[in-house]
Structure 1
């Protein structure tokens, strides 16, 4: 029988756990007997999650990943039953707007860079030494197909996810011999709050990308995350790209002359 890692041995630090992939992953790990530290900016959402899956195996921290001092303080204050973190799920991120580059609100670009890049590296850097000191673990980063395939209006969002992809690959090289695995999960069309956030609460716009499709959902992505971290310790999934069956590679945009 194929021997996978026992999820009961995993303590998972999750950013962006207030909805979507992060919340689904928290539920998946706790259901399998693991422990999670669920973090995010919306405290009431975290409390709802904790009430659903139980405080015994879910510690919550209200946290903005863009605040490096807050991350360091939060990690230092983690209670003993949750201190043995061996999986880091760097999930917090967002897309804002879909305007052409010359028309976009520059503050949207700044927010995406601050969250998807700066907050992301703050998270990994703060937790990595602990993984190494404890003898190993797993860093899971959340990329996107947008990190490989460009589309109109996705300039900075796609660029941030390309950064995540390359950071994860370089991190894998840095960690050779440290017994720390690194996996970049790269989802495509998935129906969560992602689109609602991108269009700042406009439900009409947010629903359009999913019309006529059968998108993936947060549980689909959480299952892939869980699978990658419970494979035997000698197996590392470098990148895992996922698309809905009804999604394919974007057609080239053609400029029609004359």
Structure 2
């Protein structure tokens, strides 16, 4: 089998960019997809990855992505990474517009891209044999609710359900469906988007938390899952820093053993 190719969404920064870098280091051909052309151009220059500018909440952009992928070679894996949170208000007080944006990017974009890419994965399997992968980055917010998480919880719970159903639908085909659900990951932009560019609010959740996860930690998990033997499916991978027991249960300050009684 020749070089394998993967498409990674949300590739302009954070987990997506780190995933593109690591796949390239492992010898994969990579197509990085995001809205920001300047960020993608810099990533392409750094890594040698191919890039495609698209807003995944716009069907015409996803159709154009499908056409590009179909015309540019076989495809072996999809990493649905694009997503985000908006606000930390209560269910009562939060803006419906924020919920709609979160559902669009965390759920409907995953559905759009998965629907576009699945025929291409099947085409590659038919031509080459082997198997393919669909991996989606969700969140522990899609498994455990927390105060202020209403819209984000709802969207990520839906993304989790989407992956569960897709795995049932694809049973019998050599296509793995993998979900990676990270906990606290400190990246440059997640908090800034959530809090409308307020750097103080964006930094507060990580204050005095020892060693939150990095984008590179999640990228390592993604690439490891996709590169495992094709008969092994890591259906659901939950990954949190040791300091985080649950979304709302964080240790702050240095970790240390309790003194003996």
TM-score, reference length from structure 2: 0.89
- Residues 98 and 151 in structure 2, CA contact (< 8 A), matched pair in contact too: no
- Residues 146 and 248 in structure 2, CA contact (< 8 A), matched pair in contact too: no
Whole-Å separation in 1 of the counterparts to 2:135 and 2:20 = 13
Residues 10-25 of structure 1: pairs in structure 2 closer than 5 A: 10-25=4-19
Whole-Å separation in 2 of the counterparts to 1:196 and 1:66 = 20
- Unmatched segments (≥5 aa) in structure 2: 126-130, 250-261
Deviations 1:98-117 (A, max 9, x none): 01111112211111111111
- Residues 106 and 156 in structure 2, CA contact (< 8 A), matched pair in contact too: yes
**1:171 aligned onto 2:166:** yes
Corresponding position of 1:127: 117
Structure 1 position 89, deviation (Å): 0.4
Query: What number of residue pairs does the alignment pair up?
Result: 242
Structure 1 counterpart of 2:237, from 237, 240, 256: 240
Residues 78-227 of structure 1: pairs in structure 2 closer than 5 A: 78=69, 82-135=72-125, 136-192=131-187, 193-213=189-209, 214-227=211-224
Whole-Å separation in 1 of the counterparts to 2:75 and 2:247 = 39
* Greater mean alpha carbon deviation, residues 132-141 or residues 41-50: 132-141
- Unmatched segments (≥5 aa) in structure 1: 1-5, 253-258
Deviations 1:141-176 (A, max 9, x none): 011000111111111111111111111121111111
Q: Secondary structure at the match of 1:101?
A: coil
Whole-Å separation in 1 of the counterparts to 2:65 and 2:115 = 14
**1:30 aligned onto 2:24:** yes
Cα 1:29–1:113 change in 2 (3 A) is same
Whole-Å separation in 1 of the counterparts to 2:73 and 2:95 = 41
Corresponding position of 1:255: none
Whole-Å separation in 2 of the counterparts to 1:14 and 1:49 = 12
**1:63 aligned onto 2:54:** yes
Whole-Å separation in 1 of the counterparts to 2:85 and 2:248 = 21
**1:39 aligned onto 2:30:** no
Q: Secondary structure at the match of 2:15?
A: helix
Whole-Å separation in 1 of the counterparts to 2:70 and 2:112 = 21
Structure 1 position 231, deviation (Å): 0.2
- Residues 163 and 179 in structure 2, CA contact (< 8 A), matched pair in contact too: yes
Structure 1 position 79, deviation (Å): 7.6
* Greater mean alpha carbon deviation, residues 178-187 or residues 105-114: 105-114
TM-score, reference length from structure 1: 0.90
Structure 1 position 249, deviation (Å): 1.9
